[in-house]
Amino acid sequence: GRKRSLEGKMVLITAGPTYEAIDPVRFIGNHSSGKMGYSLAEEAAERGAKVILVSGPSGMVVKHPSIELYRVTSAKEMMAKVFEFYEHTDIGIASAAVADYAPREVAKEKIKKKDEHLTIELVKNPDILKTMGEQKRHQFLVGFALETENEEENAQAKMQKKNLDMIVLNSLRDKGAGFRNDTNRIKIFTPAGKKEFALKSKEEVARDILDCIEAEILK
Ligand code: PMT
């Protein structure tokens, strides 16, 4: 048995990629499997929380009965689902890899192969986490940063810009970290400090993240 340290708390987690439709058969997406977010959801539920898991397309399944899973496809759908629950959220964790841009329009018919070049115009998607930060009241808000360069500076800048209480950095430079792997290597930043962790399974990483959140909340 584990400590029911999150009993009575509502935890809202985003997970997985988003798919932005180009035409009826194609999309812009990314390599997120959802594993990191689903591991966080399972661990929070084990600790007694009620969990709302808003997930982009993912093959992962939910096991714990205290997890309510909402499947979405695009960033706009993810945004809408998140804000159905945000007001009643105690802890928000954004582990989804949200597409920053989406095609300006979705072609009604499958785009035919024709010219040598094809241009698809993209427009910026809403930043879900940034909007959560702007509307933050009692919520404790945690973001992820997936970086390939200037990792620490970029992560800390994101924490500030999005008004977060904590940010979890994973680097695509670290072997075994980030997308799809069963493992991750993270650094956790709060406005007050930094903590580095070894390469671990995503289940163990989820425990480390929730331990840090609990320590901050109880401060
Ligand atoms: O799913 P896995 O295969 O297990 O992989 C896990 C992961 C690598 C996807 C995960 O650990 C991770 O790093 N998730 C965040 C990926 C990301 O898109 O990072 P970012 O630095 O681009 O975004 C910063 C933060 O803003 C993230 O919390 C992101 O969820 C959020 N965001 C970004 C853009 C946007 N339009 N809306 C958002 O909410």
pLDDT tens-digit profile of 19-77?
999 999 999 999 999 999 999 999 999 999 999 999 999 999 999 999 999 999 999 99
Distance 214 CA to ligand 1 centre (A): 21
For residue 199, say whether it is annotated as part of any ligand binding site: no
CA nearest ligand 1 atom 31, residue:
129
Tell me, yes or no, if 30 is annotated catalytic: yes
Strands 10-15 and 50-55: parallel
Q: Is the pLDDT of residue 1 over 60?
A: no
Higher pLDDT, 174 or 61: 61
What ipTM does this complex have?
0.99
pLDDT at residue 2, as a whole number:
66
Query: Which backbone phi and psi does 22 adopt, to 5 degrees?
Result: -100, -45
Q: CA–CA separation, 51 vs 141, rounded Å?
A: 15
Strand partners of residue 187: 169, 196
DSSP state of 88: G
For residue 129, say whether it is annotated as part of any ligand binding site: yes
pLDDT tens-digit profile of 109-168?
999 999 999 999 999 999 999 999 999 999 999 999 999 899 999 999 999 999 999 999
Strand partners of residue 50: 10
Q: Is the pLDDT of residue 7 over 60?
A: yes
Whether ligand 1 lies within 6 angstroms of the CB of 128 is answered as yes
In order of their start, the domains of the chain are 10-108+120-217 (3.40.50.10300)
Distance 98 CA to ligand 1 centre (A): 6
Q: Are 153 and 140 in contact (CB under 8 A)?
A: no
pLDDT at residue 8, as a whole number:
96
Whether ligand 1 lies within 6 angstroms of the CB of 180 is answered as yes
pLDDT at residue 196, as a whole number:
97
Strands 122-124 and 101-103: antiparallel
Q: CA–CA separation, 122 vs 125, rounded Å?
A: 9
CA 44 to the chain's CA centroid: 15
Q: Is the pLDDT of residue 171 over 90?
A: no
Q: Is the pLDDT of residue 187 over 70?
A: yes
- The label of the residue with tokens 């977010």 reads 37
